Amino acid sequence: MTSSKASNPIPSWNAEISEIRKRGSWDARLVTRYEGRARKKDYAQALSFEAHDPMWLLTRQWQFGRFQGNDCGTLVSARVNLQTQFVDGICPGQDRHQSRTVRQGEPWEPYVEAVPARRTLAVRVESAMRLRKMVLASGSTLAKLREQYPLETASLREDGDVIGELADSVNGRRTRFLEVYGGRIFDGVKAYEDPGLADLLGTCMDRTVAQARAKEYVQWFKKMYEPEQSKGTYWNREKLAYDFSLTVNNRLYAAENYASGRIGWHTFDVAEGADLLLPQRNEVEAFIPVKASFPAAPARRLWEYEDRRVHFGNLSNDDVSQLASAVMMEYVSMYSNDWMIVPVEVEPGTVANVASIEITDCFGTKRTIRHSAELRDEVIAQVGPSVPFSDRWSLFSSTRARAYDKTDFRSVSGLLFPSSLLRVGESEPVEQVQFMRDEMANMVWGVEERIDDECGGSLDGKTMSDKVLDIIDREKGDKVEPDAAADFTYLVQNRVPVHWIPFIPQPASGPVGREIRFRRARMPLYYKGQFEWARPSTSILAIERNGKAVQPCYLNEEEVLAYGTKVTLSVQRTRWSSGKTFLWRGYAKKISGYQANSGLMFDELRAIDKGPQTLTATDQESAE
């Protein structure tokens, strides 16, 4: 909101629109403002506001009619007409048919980021301990539970994963975990999956109590390991990000590449329904406007004593890195008096649109400010020239999805206020995968740096890989020595670490404009007379099946640039304003690492190092 101090009244918006339509173009006089500009590196003289010839300045002001001004009264009140609309639902991608209702008054991060927990040994034992406490199991009850649901050496690996079984065998934590709990507790996951759990408990206690305990346990298990919000399919492997949308009446707000961990207003763009919203609520509230400021801003009155929080003398005109500081200095020294703040409270999870603001100054004059940035965009698109995106400026509005692809930079009225978290307690990464380019091999590697050890912690991927390769090398026994007369050996293919998962380029057959995508592949390892495949050990790269068929895992080329991309899985917990606690497991992505050189080679001839040779007499004569 501005307070005009110009001598001549600014044309109204309607008059400006009419003038534009008559000419078919903009008039420079309507958008140009003449300002003084310091031309020296030292700002001290410019900031001193020296007046070398006051009479000449006053004469020029009189000649240009600057003494004919508006009242410029101080603003004393403002009435804001606010339109709000609640978010209706959330859906994966932009598919409205799979939309689910969003609970008002709850944060969105747990619903978007949550993924189901893997059925590790820690989950099986922890859930079993919970059920044991619920039923207050006697010795006989515990024995029946152990007999019905034995805790076996269940693994997350698929059947036939020989290399995965070797990785489990070198996991010392997993081995010790089974030794401690193997014969002392039952399998809580099997109890949860058994529909006859209540009948089993009914043989040791009252049947009504047994049914209540079984129902309570199932509800606890779902809340703990399979929360309702984890049923969505928002994580997109191809983008290495969450891909979801919010529905607001007839409008669709899309978040196509969210992986930062905190949802904000900048996360969303309008994908569908750019027309004005039907207001669910229309409120008019009165406020007292105050001047806009920020910490360390200089005083607004000239020659007023400043504190030492900011020092303009440290700025120079020849340092390009201080352009942002120069912009802020220009704002606080020339425009700060023209800006006012009106605090408007908006509920989280709503789209708010300021329809109009009615301001009243100390002279009793009332002015109405209407939202015009969006209307200006529409006029430019219809009758005016094409205005670059960098020249557009609007407040409290949203951009359109894929604006650069469609060359449509018009803004959409209404600003989305997400129901986002302020603080979250986060664990150390349970899983961590580093994606890196290998230009020499023309491929991408997914390096599993941290792997879930199934006992509530994580393992180092390199350590696990070294132990597995050591077992494979020991199984080969004595190496075959090359022929003494040979000068070279032939290598079909060398090997890479087990925790390096390859992604090879493949022609893209999907979206228009994309030439290739990277597809997950497999690296062979020779073990016990045959080739076995090294398969992923993390849920980030885990194999997904549609029935018995393996679903291909693709990765968009632009997701892994010259700098690598790191994806982590961690456990997060927070307490909302209502006191309700949320616990979930989610992914996060950040730029990290560099390019890699795996040293992968095929069809290579290697020279045999025969060491120092003793020349015979014949060889010596030939050499001479």
pLDDT in tens, 247-285: 888 889 999 888 888 888 888 988 887 666 666 777 888
Kindly report the number of other CB atoms within 10 A of residue 332's CB atom.
19
Question: Tokens at residue 163, please?
Answer: 């290399």
| Ranges 173-182, 468-477, 607-616, most confident | 173-182
Note the pLDDT of residue 396: 77
- CA distances, 438 to each of 149, 157, 432, 594, 613 (Å): 47, 28, 19, 10, 39
Specify the higher pLDDT residue, 410 or 134: 134
Note the pLDDT of residue 569: 92
Please check the confidence at residue 8 and state whether its pLDDT lies above 60: no
Please check the confidence at residue 54 and state whether its pLDDT lies above 80: no
- CA distances, 608 to each of 206, 347, 473, 616 (Å): 79, 75, 21, 20
**pLDDT average, residue stretch 470-485:** 72
In percent, the amount of the chain with pLDDT more than 90 equals 11
Question: Which pLDDT band holds residue 317 (cuts at 50, 70, 90)?
Answer: low
Note the pLDDT of residue 619: 47
pLDDT digits (tens, 9 = 90+) for 550-598: 888 999 888 888 788 899 999 999 998 888 888 888 899 988 877 777 7
Helix (H, G, I), strand (E, B) or coil at 282: strand
Note the pLDDT of residue 501: 92
Note the pLDDT of residue 480: 60
**Is the distance from CB of 120 to CB of 171 less than 8 angstroms?**
no
Note the pLDDT of residue 11: 44
Q: Whole-prediction pTM value? A: 0.74
Report the alpha-carbon distance of residue 122 to residue 132 in Å, rounded: 15
Question: Which pLDDT band holds residue 192 (cuts at 50, 70, 90)?
Answer: very high
Specify the higher pLDDT residue, 347 or 410: 347
Note the pLDDT of residue 320: 58
Helix (H, G, I), strand (E, B) or coil at 143: helix
Helix (H, G, I), strand (E, B) or coil at 254: strand
**Torsion sign across C-alpha atoms 598, 601, 607, 610:** positive
Please check the confidence at residue 89 and state whether its pLDDT lies above 90: no
Write down the mean pLDDT value for the chain: 78
pLDDT digits (tens, 9 = 90+) for 519-561: 999 888 888 888 888 899 999 998 888 877 888 899 988 888 8
Question: Which pLDDT band holds residue 5 (cuts at 50, 70, 90)?
Answer: very low
The domain locations on the chain are: 13-83+283-417, 121-230, 425-607
Please check the confidence at residue 451 and state whether its pLDDT lies above 90: yes
**pLDDT average, residue stretch 126-136:** 87
Helix (H, G, I), strand (E, B) or coil at 290: strand
Note the pLDDT of residue 613: 56
Please check the confidence at residue 186 and state whether its pLDDT lies above 80: yes
Please check the confidence at residue 624 and state whether its pLDDT lies above 60: no
Could you say which DSSP state residue 97 is in? G
- CA distances, 493 to each of 446, 459, 604 (Å): 20, 28, 8
**pLDDT average, residue stretch 29-58:** 63
Question: Which pLDDT band holds residue 450 (cuts at 50, 70, 90)?
Answer: very high
Q: Among 170-184, 394-408, 493-507, name the one with the lowest average pLDDT.
A: 394-408
Question: Tokens at residue 31, please?
Answer: 């958008």
**pLDDT average, residue stretch 370-383:** 58
Note the pLDDT of residue 449: 92
Report the alpha-carbon distance of residue 575 to residue 590 in Å, rounded: 25
In percent, the amount of the chain with pLDDT more than 70 equals 72
Please check the confidence at residue 231 and state whether its pLDDT lies above 80: no
**pLDDT average, residue stretch 428-441:** 89
Please check the confidence at residue 617 and state whether its pLDDT lies above 60: no
Note the pLDDT of residue 519: 92
- The backbone torsions φ and ψ at residue 315, rounded to the nearest 5 degrees and listed phi first, read -85, 145
**Is the distance from CB of 573 to CB of 581 less than 8 angstroms?**
yes
Please check the confidence at residue 6 and state whether its pLDDT lies above 50: no
pLDDT digits (tens, 9 = 90+) for 104-113: 888 888 888 8
- The backbone torsions φ and ψ at residue 16, rounded to the nearest 5 degrees and listed phi first, read -65, -40
Note the pLDDT of residue 92: 87
What is the secondary structure of 167-220 as a DSSP string?
Answer: HHHT-HHHHHHHHHHTTT-B-HHHHHH-TTHHHHHHTTS-HHHHHHHHHHHHHH
Question: Which pLDDT band holds residue 233 (cuts at 50, 70, 90)?
Answer: confident
